[in-house]
Each structure stands twice: as structure tokens, then as C-alpha cells.
Chains A and B, each alone.
Chain A
Amino acid sequence: MKRPNDLLLRAVSKVAVLIILTFSINLFYSGHHNPGGGFIGGLGVTAALILLFLTYDIETVTDNLPVDFKKVAAIGVLIAVGTGAGSFFFDAAFLSQTFGYFDIPVFGKTELATAVLFDLGVALAVIGSAVTIIQTISEDE
């Protein structure tokens, strides 16, 4: 069997993974007022990781990225439920949110919302579960 030559794929994916990860972070942060949010940001990060899995193999990626994605999913769900339950300390209903305007030295007047923490939990849960599914169904045996 002839050895396949995927030099072009590796050259493209080195640039494309960076672009996809940057766009995912942009989608994650724009989710408060514009289309985006934790779910689609997590799916973007998952798409970048799947591109890495396709270009190289699973062992190379997991050697360079030693993260157990099942634990990532668990931590994400924990953060999401924790921010929901944290509103009990302020005598508010479950999952209620608030926001405020703060003066930050570099960015100027910035709106900070507590919904970002919940979105972070959602994003981590999506990344963990999706990458775990991909790693599980791609096993040969």
C-alpha cells in the first residue's frame, strides 16, 4: 500500500486551527448581545480539535494536549450548576443573573455580566462531551 502524502493538509490545518480557535473565542465573548455564546463557542473549539485529530492521529494530539476530556465535561457542568446555585447566597431565584459597568484601565468602561461564568460552564461541558464522543467512536477495536 502506498504511503499517503498529506503535506498540503498539514500546512493548511496549522493555520486553520489557529483561525478556528480565535473565532471560537470571539463567538464565546460576543454571546451576550450578539449571536454566539457558550454552546457554539464550545462547538467551535471542538471543530478545531477534530481538525487536529484528522490531520495527525489521536496519540500525537493527546501527548501534546494531556487533558482528560471527561473531567473537562464534569468541571463544566459543576461550574454551570454552581453559578446557578450561587444566586441563593444573594436571596435571588435559581439561575438569576446581574451585570454592572466597571472602569478597567485598558478597556475603559466595560460591562461585566455574571452570565459569562454560566456560559463558561456550558462551553466546557460541550467541549468535554463532544471530544469524548469523537474519541470513543473512532476506536478501531
Chain B
Amino acid sequence: MFEFLMSGSLILLVLSIFACLYRVWKGPSMPDRIQALDTIGITLVGGVAIFSVLLGTHAFLEVILIVGILSFIGTIAFARSLERGVVIERKRVD
């Protein structure tokens, strides 16, 4: 029963990743695509956590932190590029 529930939630997470991929591909505007990429990162974190519970190991917990950090930095870089046109500034303007 437990493994059935875990496998079912993994399948649902994969389906939601596919929904986010549709939004990345189709998204009318750029912020939609960035939001969808961030949501894919969060869903990956959840999937790794469920996989770790399913296998009964804590070897994947570092993966969760690394994916969270990289998704955070990637979203910030996309937002900077969208708002100012330049990702890393040479000299601050204000």
C-alpha cells in the first residue's frame, strides 16, 4: 500500500512536470516560461524526496539542497535578464 501511494505520487509529479514543460514551450510571455522553469525545479525536489523515502536512504538529501540552490539562482538570473537586460552588472547605477 505504501509503495503504491509513493509510486502514484511520483507518477503525478511526472505528469505535472510535463504540464510545466508544455507551459515552457507554449507560454505566451517570458515570465510564464520562467515561472514554469522554477516550478519544474520545485517539482524535481519533491520527486527526489519521494524517491529517497521509497528507497529508504538519505543519500539523496544533498541532491535536494543542490537542486534548490541552483533553481533559486537560475530564477534570479532569468528575472534580472528580463528586468534590466543585463545579468551581471559591471558597476551599479544608483
Contact = CB atoms under 8 A, between A and B. Distances in A.
Interface of A: 3-4, 9, 16, 20, 23, 27, 34-36, 40, 44, 47, 50-51, 53-54, 56-60, 134, 138-140
Interface string B75-90: 0110010011011111
Contacts, number: 53
Interface string B4-18: 000000000000000
B70 interface: yes
Contacts of A20: 69
Nearest to B60: A35
- The 3 A-B pairs with the shortest beta carbon distances in the complex, nearest first, are A138-B88, A57-B89, A57-B92
Interface of B is mostly: helix
Interface in B62-81: 62-63, 65-66, 69-70, 72-73, 76-77, 80
Contact of B91 (A47, A50, A59): A59
Given A54-B80, A58-B89, A35 B62 contact: yes
Nearest to A20: B69
Contacts of B83: 4
Given A47-B70, A54-B80, A3 B65 contact: no
B84 A4 contact: yes
Interface in B23-41: none
A2 to B, nearest CB: 10
A37 to B, nearest CB: 11
